[in-house]
């Protein structure tokens, strides 16, 4: 007789944490210390760049998932920089997949565990099965295989770590590279002064709208507990789940190494990366409303990849951010509405913008 497949349930972390809250001048708790697990299935000793956003995301996802986890990684920085001959930073089973087949490989792993458990050939409960694919893989070369796995509802968590470029092969443009983001394939010049002229693909909304039975969420490395809780919710969901995580790439985006987490918050506070959850039971989106709303220049000017932007390019990004604020049900403050006018801007490199308190660190 077939054995029952027992599923695990990972508890969510307290949003309040155990430390005393101390707000900074923008109302953010800078001493937030939640009860996160001590274990790190993604250990130190890998070879990603200092300040690598995807490495932070890998660490927090696996911290949230724990030891009873199986991970797949399609080709990209997080395969190449994490695995050298006979050496990886994982304390859990990990496998590399070709860049196009992260979804189909993971679907096979999920179906395989179900079958082994039913036949009594795998003793434990159903493990946490995760694939973490770059944006080039998840939104472009491997999109079909992930969409297929979501559609067939395999019980696994499919993650896109989004550094907005094909980083590993030399920072080339990908479908999620933002408008005006300079890459080695979208240099700015006389013919195309903004560098990249197309808007980015809205991958997470595509996944939620296209696979309405799946749990889908967006998050960033600026919100560690949100990232870890959404990882756990995705794993607890019985069926397929997709998480889109914004992960700055220090090398490709050209910013101070210590600013990765800050940039992960600012992109949300600038209205350029809405953080939300799609609940398949209710078929509804739940949007995070950040307490701070900033002009897009506060985000753009921290990064060298936008340094060439002209006033009209900045204004068009502010228009996009203001639409995002409206889409998530927030008012657009007058200052941000004024930013839709190119006459209100200078070239980006001449704009004044706010820097975080620790601006000197790593400078």
Ligand X SMILES: Cc1ncc(C[n+]2csc(CCOP(=O)(O)OP(=O)(O)O)c2C)c(N)n1
Write out the residues near ligand X by the rule CB under 6 A: 54, 75-78, 99-100, 134-137, 141, 163, 165-169, 174
CB 266 within 8 A of CB 299: yes
Distance CA 173, CA 197 (A): 11
Tell me, what DSSP letter sits at residue 309? Answer: -
The CA R_g of the chain, rounded to the nearest whole Å, is: 20
Tell me the Ramachandran region of residue 356: left when phi exceeds 0, alpha when psi lies from -120 to 50, beta otherwise. beta
Tell me, what DSSP letter sits at residue 181? Answer: -
Distance CA 68, CA 78 (A): 21
Q: Which does 75 bind (CB under 5 to 8 A by kind): ligand SF4, Mg ion, ligand X, none?
A: ligand X
Q: Could you say whether residue 251 binds ligand SF4 (CB under 6 A)?
A: yes
CB 69 within 8 A of CB 119: no
* 87 SS3 class: strand
Query: Taking CB positions, which residue lies at the least distance from Mg ion?
Result: 134
Q: How far is the CB of 163 from ligand X (least distance, A)?
A: 5
Q: How far is the CB of 219 from ligand X (least distance, A)?
A: 17
Q: How far is the CB of 17 from ligand SF4 (least distance, A)?
A: 28
Which residue in 166, 274, 267, 260 sits closest to 216, CA to CA? 274
CB 172 within 8 A of CB 183: yes
Would you say 138 or 321 has its CB closer to ligand X?
138
Would you say 81 or 129 has its CB closer to ligand SF4?
81
Q: How far is the CB of 178 from Mg ion (least distance, A)?
A: 13
Q: Which does 137 bind (CB under 5 to 8 A by kind): Mg ion, ligand X, ligand SF4, none?
A: ligand X
Q: Which does 293 bind (CB under 5 to 8 A by kind): ligand SF4, ligand X, Mg ion, none?
A: none
CB 184 within 8 A of CB 20: no
Please provide residue 175's backbone torsions phi and psi, each rounded to the nearest 5 degrees. -65, -20
Q: How far is the CB of 330 from ligand X (least distance, A)?
A: 30
Q: Could you say whether residue 49 binds ligand SF4 (CB under 6 A)?
A: yes
83 to each of 131, 159, 242, how far by Cα in Å?
16, 19, 25
Distance CA 69, CA 42 (A): 11
Residue among 48, 139, 163, 256 that touches Mg ion (CB under 5 A) = 163
Which region among 47-55, 135-143, 194-202, 266-274 touches ligand SF4 (by CB under 6 A)? 47-55
Would you say 145 or 168 has its CB closer to ligand X?
168
Would you say 10 or 167 has its CB closer to ligand X?
167
Residues forming contacts to Mg ion in the complex (CB under 5 A) are: 134-136, 163, 167
Residues forming contacts to ligand SF4 in the complex (CB under 6 A) are: 48-49, 52, 54, 77, 81, 163, 167, 249-252
């Amino acid at each position: 007789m077939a054995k029952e497949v027992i599923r695990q349930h990972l508890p969510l972390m307290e949003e309040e944490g155990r430390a005393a809250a101390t707000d900074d001048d923008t109302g953010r708790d800078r001493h937030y210390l939640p009860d996160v697990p001590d274990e790190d299935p993604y250990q130190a000793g890998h070879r990603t760049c200092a300040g690598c956003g995807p490495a932070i995301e890998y660490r927090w996802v696996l911290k949230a998932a724990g030891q009873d986890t199986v991970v797949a990684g399609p080709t990209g920085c997080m395969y190449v920089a994490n695995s050298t001959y006979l050496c990886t930073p994982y304390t859990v089973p990990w496998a590399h997949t070709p860049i196009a087949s992260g979804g189909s490989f993971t679907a096979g792993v999920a179906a395989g565990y179900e079958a082994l458990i039913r036949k009594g050939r795998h003793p434990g409960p159903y493990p946490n099965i995760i694939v973490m694919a770059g944006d080039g893989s998840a939104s472009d070369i491997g999109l079909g295989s992930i969409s297929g796995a979501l559609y067939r509802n395999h019980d696994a968590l499919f993650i896109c770590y989004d550094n907005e470029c094909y980083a590993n092969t030399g920072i080339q443009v990908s479908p999620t590279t933002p408008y005006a983001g300079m890459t080695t394939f979208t240099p700015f010049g006389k013919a195309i002064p903004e560098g990249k002229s197309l808007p980015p693909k809205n991958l997470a909304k595509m996944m939620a709208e296209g696979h309405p039975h799946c749990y889908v969420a967006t998050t960033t490395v600026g919100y560690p507990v949100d990232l870890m809780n959404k990882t756990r919710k995705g794993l607890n969901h019985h069926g397929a789940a997709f998480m889109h995580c914004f992960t700055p790439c220090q090398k490709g985006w050209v910013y101070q190494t210590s600013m990765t987490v800050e940039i992960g918050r600012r992109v949300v506070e600038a209205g350029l990366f809405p953080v939300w959850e799609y609940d398949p039971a209710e078929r509804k989106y739940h949007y995070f409303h950040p307490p701070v709303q900033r002009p897009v220049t506060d985000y753009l000017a921290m990064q060298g990849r936008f340094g060439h932007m002209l006033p009209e390019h900045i204004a068009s990004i502010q228009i996009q951010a203001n639409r995002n604020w409206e889409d998530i049900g927030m008012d657009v403050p007058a200052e941000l509405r004024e930013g839709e006018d190119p006459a209100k801007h200078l070239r980006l490199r001449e704009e004044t913008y706010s820097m975080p308190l620790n601006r000197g660190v790593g400078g």
